[in-house]
Amino acid sequence: MKTHYKNNSGLYEASEMQSQNWIAFQNPTSEEKKYLLEELQIPEDFYNDINDVDERPRIEFENGWQLVIFRIPILSNDVKLPFNTVPVGIIFNESVFVTICFHENEVIQDFINFTTKKKTYIKNDFDLVLKLMLSSGVWYLKYLKQIVHKIKVAEDNLEKSIKNEELQALLHIEKCLVFFMTSIKGNSTVVYRIKKRTNQEHLDPELVEDVEIELRQALEMTKIYSDILTGMMDAYASVISNNLNDIMKKMTLISIILLIPTIIASFYGMNVPNSLEGNIYGMPILISVSILFSALGVFLFMRKKWF
C-alpha cells in the first residue's frame, strides 16, 4: 500500500506526488516495487535489504541516496513469539523521501496521527528520521507494559499450579525481550552514526537528545524485565526440582512401609516348618505383626520429619 504525505504543520495525506512529499509503503505490491525501482530509481540493494526480516539497523550512502534502517516493535500472530521487531527502511535524496515496511505495524500510523494532532512541523529529512525513531522508542515502552502484564498473569497462574504451559509462556516472553534488547541497541547505534556523519546544522540537538533518552529508557527497562524474568524462571525451576525430590522421597518411604508386610508374609509363606503353620490364629498374628511394624516405620519417618 502506497500513501503520500505532505508536511503542513503536521503530516496529511496528499492525493498525488509533490516535491518533498513523504511516500510511505507498507507491504508493497509487485507494481509498487516496480514504481520504486524504475520510476523513483532507488537502489535495488536497499529494497532487498529492507525486505530481510533479520536486517540489522544501520545507515548507508550510495550514489546520492541515503538509507536508514531501524527496527520497530510489532504485535505478532505467533503464539510462541507474541511480540517481535521488524525493519523499517528510510530511503531519501534531495527530492525523494520514501519509507518501506513489509509488515503491519502501529508505529507509523500512530506517528502520523500524533504529528497531525500536535501540528508538528518537519524541518528536514533527518528531522523526520529522528522523529520516527523517537516514536519507535515510545512504542517499545508501550509493548513492554503489555509484556509486564503477561508476566504477572503467568506468575499468578504459576502460584496456583505449576504447569508446562505457563512456563513456556514465560520462555516465549523472555525471547521477545531478547529481540527487543538487540533491536534497541541497533537503533541507538544508528542515532550515534547520524550524529557523527550528518551536518549538525540539519539536526535538532534537543530532538537527538530526546531520541537517545527514549531509547536508553527502553533498553534499561527491557534489561530490568529480562533480569526479573530470568530470576523468576530460575526460581520456578528450583521449585519444580524441589517438588520432584519431595514426591520421590515420599514414594520411596511408602515403598519401604509396604515392603515390611511383604517381607513378613514372604518369610512365613515359605514351604518350611514354623511355629504358626498349625495355629488357627496364625493369619491374624501375621497381619497384626505386619501392621505393627508398618506403623512403627511410619512413626519413625514422621519423627524424622520425612513425611
Residues 185 and 268 in one domain: no
Same-domain status, 160 and 229: yes
Q: Among 242, 267, 283, which residue terminates a domain?
A: 242
Same domain, 230 and 293: no
Question: pLDDT confidence of 224, banded at 50, 70, 90?
Answer: very high
- Are 122 and 28 in a shared domain? yes
Strands (DSSP E) contained in the chain are 2-7, 11-14, 22-26, 58-62, 65-75, 83-92, 97-101
Are residues 145 and 52 located together in one domain of the fold? yes
204 plus 296 within the same structural domain: no
Do residues 184 and 290 share a domain?
no
Using CA atoms, how far apart are residues 105 and 98, in angstroms rounded to an integer? Answer: 17
Range(s) of the domain holding residue 219: 2-242
- Looking at 242, 271, 288, the residue that finishes a domain is 242
| Count of structural domains within the chain | 2
Confidence at 19, pLDDT banded by 50, 70, 90: low
Q: What is the pTM of this model?
A: 0.78
DSSP state of 57: P
Residues in the chain: 307
Indicate whether 258 pLDDT > 90: no
pLDDT at 142 over 90: yes
Per-residue pLDDT, 10: 67
Same domain, 61 and 170: yes
Contact yes or no for 19/3 (Cβ under 8 A): no
pLDDT digits (tens, 9 = 90+) for 173-210: 888 999 999 999 999 999 998 888 766 677 888 888 99
pLDDT at residue 12 is higher than 80: no
Neighbour count for residue 127 (Cβ, 10 Å): 17
Q: Which one of 242, 262, 288 terminates a domain?
A: 242
